[in-house]
Each structure stands twice: as structure tokens, then as C-alpha cells.
Structure 1
Amino acid sequence: MDGLYAIVSSATKQTLYQFMKDEDISLLNYHFSHYFHFCIQINNIQVIPHHFSSHKIEGLTVVDELGISFSYERDNPKVKQNFTLCHELGHFILKHDGSYFAESVDNQEDILEREANIFSAMVLMPDIVLLSKIYYSCHTFHQVQNSLEVSNQALFYRLLDFLREYYSDNEGEVTQAIESYIEGKNASIFRLFHNIKDKIIEEFHQFQPSLINQVKQRVRKVGFVTSQEYPSLLNQDNWKAIKDNNGNLKTWLVYNKGKAIAYVWDKEKFSDEEARKKAELQLLLM
């Protein structure tokens, strides 16, 4: 198996699987847009359509003094746009060195473009999601394709890369199993998944919900949380990590009659006084 695939696969799962755990994402209802929009929001990335008459440039990433922007060919089919958006996100998440990336038919063999393609395919079709849909829920090839909003070709090559990682000496068997699966014959691909399912599940469960990430994401949604929801907030050692990389978050602690409550708030949604009053009210009700 291509060593590049293994490297990018591992890096992608580090961020994607952690997000899925923190957000308690349903495997059967997974859609790339949850992760994509989360990344766009927290990194203030602008996403815009573009159009070139030749359709030669599928996607662009630009990093300059104005910030970060992704663009995609507006006349492409939706499934191609989805792949392009995740491809451009891949350049950012994988920390590719550069301020300008163009996805075109002429540079598909460039190593950074290959890495971004692998990232995109994995975000659109994660290992654990494919296992859940194909093996445990017995979805057909076209049901998986439609639910994840990917093309026939994208799902075919994703399954090929995914299964070859585990069956590197049986590429012919893997290809035949996928082709049979497309035709509605599931026995071969079920057997391949059965032999590797424990490894896929174990890898996913290596990731556990992170207190820091959960708190940050909860505050982004509602603007305010307390140690009533997350008792570990009472440990002030966690406060610095919560505030790191987000200047909008503030933390504090209030006491009353021997009781204490820690709280985190978004200063753009609540003033210091408003946040303290909310915390004091919860403290009174304890």
C-alpha cells in the first residue's frame, strides 16, 4: 500500500475522529458537512464559488493578509463540489506550506494534491462510517453513495484504497469484491469487512471525548457553560487550555456558603456581569 495513504489517513483520523467523538456524531447519519462547517467556522475561512469557462481549475485555496478562502467551480455537479471543498480543507488541516493551491487536471500527481485528495476521500467517507453502513446496516453501494453525496467513482476508489490497506496482497480479490458489491452482490465485501471490523472499531474507540473541546464547542453554540455540566471546570488547571487559541472565551469561579461553581462564557455574547449573574443563579439553585 502507498505509504503516503497511511500517513495522510492517520493524520486525518486524528482530527476527524476526535471531532466525531466530541460531537457524538451518529455513524449512520454522518455527513461531511458537519466537520467541514465546524472547521470553516472556527478558522474564519471564506467559501465562495468561482467559474472558469474551461473548467480547468476545480478548486482554489488562497491565504493572504485578508485571511483564508476556498473556492470551487460553481458549474460542477454537487458531488464534485463536495470533493473539492474537502480537498481544499485538506490543504489547510494538513498544514501544507504555501499561500496558493489550485486543483486542476494538470497537477493531480503533485504530492500535496495527492495528500489533499486522500484527505478529502476520508472526510467524505470515513472508515468507521463505511463499516457501519456497508457491514452492519447492509446498505447497497448506491445507498452509501447517495447518503454521503459522493460520486460512483469516488466511492469505488475510496473502497479500493481503504480495503487495500488491509489486503495489500489481494488487490484482485478486493477489486472483484467491490465490483460485485456495485452489482448488488454483497457476500464478498461482507467477508472482507468481517475480517477487519475489530481493527476499525478499535481504532475509532482510541479517541474519547475531550473536556476542552466539548466545553469550547458548547460555548460556541450557547455562549455559556458551568461546572454543573462539566464538573472538571472546577479544576483551574483546565482554564488555560480552554482559553488558548480563542480570545473570546473567559473563565471564572464564584462562591456562596461553601459552594462553588466555575463557568466559561463567550464575551461577545455575554458581558462579564451577565455571565456572573447567570453563574450565581445556578449556584443558588445547587
Structure 2
Amino acid sequence: MDEFYTRVSNVTKQKLYQYIKDNSTSLLDYNFRDFFHYCIQENKIQVMSHHFTNHKIEGLTIIDQDGISFSYERDNPKSKQNFTLCHELGHFILNHSGTCFTESVDNQENVLEKEANIFSAVVLMPNIVLLSKIYYSCENFQKVQTSLEVSKQALYFRLLDLLREYFPDKEGQIKEAVEEYIERNNASIHNFFHTIKEKIIAEFNQYGPSLMNQIRNRIDEKGFVSSQEIPELLYQENWANLKENIKHLKIWLVYNKGKQRAYAWDSLKLSDEQARKKAELQLLLM
């Protein structure tokens, strides 16, 4: 596999794997939609459909003074729409230079379009998810295709590209293994995944939940979090950044008989007194 593919794939996985870890996403239940909607909401991107009678324009990204918008051909099959949406997101996440990007049947050889295609394939079908589904859960090709909402062609080429990264000199064997897998014979593709499983897992485990997102998720869910759940909350050097980036967040320390507990709360959900009592109760139960 060439350096071009590997570079774009790695950049994509950095963003995606961090999201998966931050949100404790189930690998067997993974679907691109959660990550996609997170990116859309985080960056205030408008998404809409379009229609051109010649069907030449699959997707569009427009960046101007009014913001960022993606659109997709509404008459395309759902799996193609999914690929297009992730493709357009790729232009944004990969920081492509420009204000208008057109995914068209006429520009497939454009370098930026190729990069966006790689981004889309990896987001729709991440390495760690394919390992989980195909090797550990022993799902057949059709089940993986359906659960990830991709086309047969997209999954076929994604498996070829993934295995080529690790086995650049086994082109013929890779193609044969993937074709056998489509026909419900998974022995060969299992052997390939068995050889590379530790590398895929190690790459995924480079990432851990960020303190910011751990705190934000617990505050969104319960309105309160303490250092009993997230010990890093005790480090007061983190507080200023947390308060700056999480709305209505308050943080404090409570002491009792030599013990201390840091706690944070949403000031719109809990009063200062309610939050303090929750923290004191946790100390008593220690």
C-alpha cells in the first residue's frame, strides 16, 4: 500500500479513534452516524440534499462567509449517500484548501477527491471495527455490509485496501481471501486478520478518553462528576481549561478527615449546596 493511502488513513483514524474512546462506543455496534453527527454539530455544518438530472454530481461542499454546507444526491441509494456524506466531511476534517469541492464522476483522479474517498472508507469501515466484526464476532460479509450501511463494492475494496497495508506483497492471496469471504468462506480472511490483530489493537489502544470529553459526557448525563470517577479532576491545573470549554461548569474541593474529593457540576442543574452534599456523601462512603 502506498504512503499516500497510509498517510490519509492514519490521520482519519486519529480523529475517529479518539471519538470512539471518548464516547465508549461499542465496536460491534459501531455506525458512522454518531461520529458524523458529532462533527456536524461541533462545527455547525449544514447538511442537505440536491438533485441534478444527469446524476453527475454526487456531493458538494461549500465554504463561504455564511458557513459550511454539505449536500448529496437525493436519488442515490442510501449506501452511496452515506459514502458521499463522509466524503464531504473528509474535505473539512483533512483541511483541504478551497471553498468548493465537487464529488463528480468526472474528477475521480483529483488528489483531494482521492483523499476524501479514503477518509470516507475508513470512517464507514474502521480497521478496529472490521477486526471485531469479522475476526472476533465471525460475522459474514453480508451482515457486516448491512450493519455498516455500505455497498458491497465499498466493503470489498475496503477489505482489499486494509489488508494491502499489512501485506503489500500478497495481492493475489488478498483478493482471493476477500472473494471467498463474500461467498461465506471466511477461513482465509481469518488467517490474515489473525496475523495482524495485535497491530490493529495496539494502534487503537494508543488513544484514551480525553479528560475534557470524560467530564463533559458525565456532566451532560448526570449533571455531576467527582474525582472518585475521574481521578484527574483532582489536578487543579486542569480546571481553568475545563471551565472555559464546558458551559455552566463549576469545580471545587471538599475535605473531610484528611480525605479530599474534587467535584464538578452543572450550575444550571444543581445548586452549589446540592453539589457539595453529593461530594460529602461520597467522602463518607469512602
Give the alignment's TM-score, normalised by structure 1: 0.89
Structure 2 unaligned residues grouped into runs of 5+: none
2:264 alignment partner in structure 1: 263
Residues 256 and 99 of structure 1, relative CA distance in 2, 3 Å threshold: same
Cα distance per residue 1:116-147 (max 9 Å; x no partner)? 11011001100011111111111111111011
Residues 197 and 37 (structure 1), Cα distance of their counterparts in 2 relative to 1, 3 Å cut:
same
In the alignment, structure 1 residue 135 sits paired with structure 2 residue 135: yes
Q: Give how far 1:217 is off.
A: 3.3
Paired residue for 2:231?
231
- In structure 1, how many angstroms separate the alpha carbons of the residues matched to 2:70 and 2:207? 29
CA RMSD of aligned residues (A): 2.1
Residues 110 and 215 of structure 1, relative CA distance in 2, 3 Å threshold: same
| Shift, 1:232, TM fit | 2.2
Cα gap change, 1:252/1:105 in structure 2, threshold over 3 Å: closer, same or farther? Answer: same
Aligned residue for 1:59? 59
- Give the secondary structure class of the aligned counterpart of 1:47: strand
1:276 maps to: 272
Match of 2:68 in 1: 68
Separation (CA, whole Å) in 1 of partners of 2:54 and 2:218: 44
What residue is the counterpart of 1:184 in the other structure? 184
Q: 1:117 corresponds to which residue?
A: 117
- What CA distance in whole angstroms lies between the structure 1 residues aligned with 2:47 and 2:107? 22
Q: What is the distance in 2 between the residues matched to 1:65 and 1:243?
A: 30
Counterpart in the other structure of 2:250: 251
**Paired position in structure 1 for 2:195:** 195
Any idea what SS the aligned residue of 1:48 has?
strand
In structure 2, the residue matched to 1:285 is 281
Looking at structure 2, the residues matched to 190 and 229 of structure 1 have their Cα atoms a distance apart, in angstroms, of 38
Alignment gaps of 5+ in structure 1: none
Corresponding residue pairs, total: 280
**Contact between 1:61 and 1:101, CA under 8 Å: does it hold in 2?**
yes
> What is the distance in 2 between the residues matched to 1:249 and 1:158?
43
Distance 1:195 1:231, change over 3 A: closer
TM-score (norm: length of structure 2): 0.89
Partners of 2:166 and 2:9 in 1: CA distance? 13
Shift in CA distance, 46/219, structure 1 to aligned 2, threshold 3 Å:
farther
Give the AA of the match of 2:128: I
Aligned residue in 2 for 1:207: 207
Identity of counterpart residues, as a percentage?
Answer: 58
The letter of the residue matching 1:95 is: N
Looking at structure 1, the residues matched to 69 and 265 of structure 2 have their Cα atoms a distance apart, in angstroms, of 30
